[in-house]
Amino acid sequence: MKKLSMLLVLVLVAALLTTPSLAEGTTYTQAPMLDAKVEGGELPPVAERLPEEPLVVAPGVVSYAEYFTDYQIGKYGGTMKSVRNSATWDGWLWCILNEFAIESVSGEGKDFYGNVFKDWEVSDDFTTYTFYLRKGMKWSDGEDLTTEDVAWKFEKDHGNEQLTSVWPTMLRTGNKADGTPCTLEVLDDYSFKLTFDGAYPGFILLCASNGVYDYFVAPAHYMKDFHIETADEAELTAKCEANGYSLDQWFSLYELYDNTAWDCAAANQIGCPTLGPWMTVSMDGSTATFERNPYYWKVDAQGQQLPYVDYMTSTYCVDKEAIAVKILGGEVDYTYEWIPLNEIGLFAQGAEAGKYKIVTKTLLHRTGADLYMNFTYEDENWRGVVNQYDFRAAIAYALDNAEICDSVYFGFGVPGDNYTITEYNPEKAGELLDGIGMTKGSDGWRTYPNGEPCEIELAYSQWMTTYEPTAVLVAEYLRAIGLNIKMKFVDNDLMDTLQYANDLQMSINFSHGPVYIQSTADYQPYKMAANYYYYWLNQGATGEEPSELLGTWFNDYLYSCYGVAAEEIDATHQKQIQFLKDNLLAIMPVQDIVQPCAVANRIMNFPTEGGYNLDDCRAGEDLWINE
């Protein structure tokens, strides 16, 4: 098998998009806050801190040029203010601080460019990927980034069963849970090869959507002091004990000090080398502070080292209302997804006093409030009907999607023609139910075909502001066709627990797959049919054998976008959506929804004119403060 790759002609797909380069003779410059450190000998000069070929950020690189109205070369300085509602996780910061191995412009999954990895090559059978690092690129503590860091990640981290119990799906053939893990071959200090045992054309897309650098590299020079195989035993024991662990729990200590994407606002990140534009420097009560990474490897078109902004802070707020108050008070530079549609008027009113502007993008990376009908809920009568297309179609006909658009989304959305039947026809819905034997009993409610009473629970949470009003309307529509719907409010944090446990009958929730080209496998199948999904995921070890319909969905559609070449992704995604619609696996009443957000007036270079909301978050390094 392995010999095959030698015969292959390596095709240079590299950098579908060519990133700009600097004019001959450009000298690099740095932020004034670093001058003293360079003069004092604490830091080497900026030219020595940058890689040989830094990534040049200009319109069209991180975000498409047409998404900006007024892109300018920035001025250094200032502090950007963020808020979060989770102890250690800040959505905006997460997007900003995480550098992906490969990126696609504006996160739209089309034009790929080398980010942490400068370049890549793909064999024409899509089994071998060769990646090239940037020569001279450094971690935030000044150590070189080399393939030693790649080898460390694959061998000592992914390869260690105590640290990584399950080899990441992304690094298995076809992004499948049962795929074979890839093998790593280090070619030299700056290039390495990953080999899969089958074609995996979607790997680059995954690198861009899911491939945060910590999937591929870890600072070996720093982490070796935390690893059982390489650390000095006495020192490691002392470190473990200082953190309340015993030596045989060393992996917990390792995880604690590893700079992983998810803990971007956690105290233990202080001191861990990073490749992001800012590094965690303090965690003071509720506020985490981040300072510029002096070794950041991107520059602007004039050779100024990025980021422009000196510091970032993230302040913990107890709930979304507290965040709203901070936004109104002008204490937040970018609001991420914190503004609910139904309160947009309040925020528009407060814009002048709070010194921000409301931005409404055309694309959102998630759906709004979808209706899931659990195919594997533990009730024989329910299963008997929900597995029939006519039942699901009846539900789709019963929903007045246009009214949902108006009253839940205030017109910021249209009926979900791509995903469901948008015709509002309660009579037809009634006929379909009659047709499968669900006729009305003496009390006016429909019964199951065998005459037993039918009572359906519709669960919803308040995680997003659209959930509750959608649930109320859906319940009304379904009651109107004679289905006895019981609404069930579930705490936000409990929703998924119950869903994982197959305990919800019908529920209101969201997914990414239908709308976000970079996450086409994310239809959250455990909401559709938890037990079927587990069976398929764990190769029969748990759950129940999927019905023919769901089996086809899992096997032929769910991961299909990762099995095709880049130019076929759109078409494949369309097929996925069509299958979803044809079979009504879940009902998405609304499409093209938006999420308004607020951006402080002082923040410059913000892509406000189109694309995904997520795009706003990705380019933190070229934002600057105009005051």
- Name the minimum Å distance from CB 454 to another protein: 25
540 lines the binding site for another protein (CB under 8 A): no
30 lines the binding site for another protein (CB under 8 A): no
- Interacting residues with another protein between 358 and 397 (CB under 8 A): 365-366
Binding track, positions 558-597, relative to another protein; x by CB under 8 A: ----------------------------------------
Omega of the bond leading into 426 within 30 degrees of 0 (cis):
no
Q: Are 184 and 130 in contact (CB under 8 A)?
A: no
Angle at 529 between CA 512 and CA 89, to 5 degrees: 40
489 lines the binding site for another protein (CB under 8 A): no
238 lines the binding site for another protein (CB under 8 A): no
- Interacting residues with another protein between 309 and 338 (CB under 8 A): 313, 315, 317-319, 321-322, 325-326, 328-331
346 lines the binding site for another protein (CB under 8 A): no
Comparing CB distances to another protein, the nearer of 176 and 193 is 176
CA atoms of 106 and 297, how far apart (whole Å): 19
Comparing CB distances to another protein, the nearer of 192 and 554 is 554
- Interacting residues with another protein between 207 and 226 (CB under 8 A): 209-210
**For residue 583, what are the CA distances in angstroms to 389, 397, 513, 578, 603?**
7, 14, 16, 8, 46
271 lines the binding site for another protein (CB under 8 A): no
447 lines the binding site for another protein (CB under 8 A): no
What DSSP string describes 26-86? Answer: PPPB--GGGHHHHHTTSS--HHHHS-SSPEEE-TTTSS-GGG-SS--------EEEEEESS
CA atoms of 77 and 308, how far apart (whole Å): 6
Tokens of 556: 């032929």
94 lines the binding site for another protein (CB under 8 A): yes
List b or e across 378-389, with b for residues whose CB sees 16 or more CB atoms inside 10 angstroms: ebeebebbbbbe
**Listed ranges 48-56, 254-262, 367-375, 567-575: which one lies at the site for another protein (CB under 8 A):** 254-262
Residue 192 burial (CB count, 10 A) = 23
339 lines the binding site for another protein (CB under 8 A): no
491 lines the binding site for another protein (CB under 8 A): yes
Taking CB under 8 A as the criterion, the residue among 343, 431, 496, 570 binding another protein is: 496
Helix (H) or strand (E) holding 536: helix 525-537
Q: What is the DSSP letter of 327?
A: H
- Name the minimum Å distance from CB 363 to another protein: 14
| Amino acid identity, position 382 | W
- Interacting residues with another protein between 142 and 181 (CB under 8 A): 165-166, 169, 177
Comparing CB distances to another protein, the nearer of 122 and 363 is 363
- Name the minimum Å distance from CB 518 to another protein: 7
CA atoms of 116 and 261, how far apart (whole Å): 15
Helix (H) or strand (E) holding 381: helix 380-386
Tokens of 115: 């980010």
Helix (H) or strand (E) holding 488: strand 484-489
Interface positions with another protein (CB under 8 A): 81, 86-89, 91, 94, 165-166, 169, 177, 209-210, 244, 251-252, 255-256, 262-263, 266-268, 282, 284-287, 289, 313, 315, 317-319, 321-322, 325-326, 328-331, 353, 365-366, 491, 493-498, 500-501, 512, 516, 518-519, 521-522, 524, 534, 537-538, 542
